[in-house]
Amino acid sequence: MAMTAADVHGGALVSKAAEGATARRTGNGTGSHDQDTPITSPGGGDFFDDSAPDTPRPEQRFFDDPALDRLMGVVWALATEVYVLRDRQQVLEETLAASGAINRAALDAEADPQELMDKAADRDAFVAHLMDNLMGLQAAKGPVR
């Protein structure tokens, strides 16, 4: 079953707004306006006419500091990539197990003490590297003056 914009974005208000934008784009709407000027939707929010797809639109803002919006964009992009990797790994494991190439129980087996120590050291180094940036300990790209 195909989903419509109304299904995804909460019903008729978005659907009506999209119909209005389509009507303006095709010349079947009433009145004209500057495409960079927001149009108030029936639900009270603003949307922009997308008749000129190459025209840059204002950046979406959710937080007072635009850097937080960009950071959240990075977090969501990474979360999306993690999910894709997780899904593909699961499919790969299922395919390999079905063909007899791997034993699923062996994948879930606990590592021996030396392997656990090695993995813990690797994990700690990885987390420390991530935390350097959060703690403001970024490496200089050149000599400090």
82 and 42: one domain? Answer: no
Considering the domain boundaries, does residue 73 fall inside one?
Answer: yes
**β-bridge partners, 17:** none
Considering the domain boundaries, does residue 145 fall inside one?
Answer: no
Start-to-end CA distance of the chain, whole Å, equals: 63
Considering the domain boundaries, does residue 55 fall inside one?
Answer: no
At 83 the pLDDT is 98
Give pLDDT tens digits for 72-130: 999 999 999 999 999 999 999 999 999 999 998 988 899 999 999 999 999 999 999 88
Print the domain residue range for 12: 5-47
pLDDT at 137 over 70: no
88 and 31: one domain? Answer: no
At 1 the pLDDT is 43
How far is C-alpha 38 from the geometric centre of its chain's CA atoms? 25
31 and 72: one domain? Answer: no
Q: pTM for this one?
A: 0.47
41 and 100: one domain? Answer: no
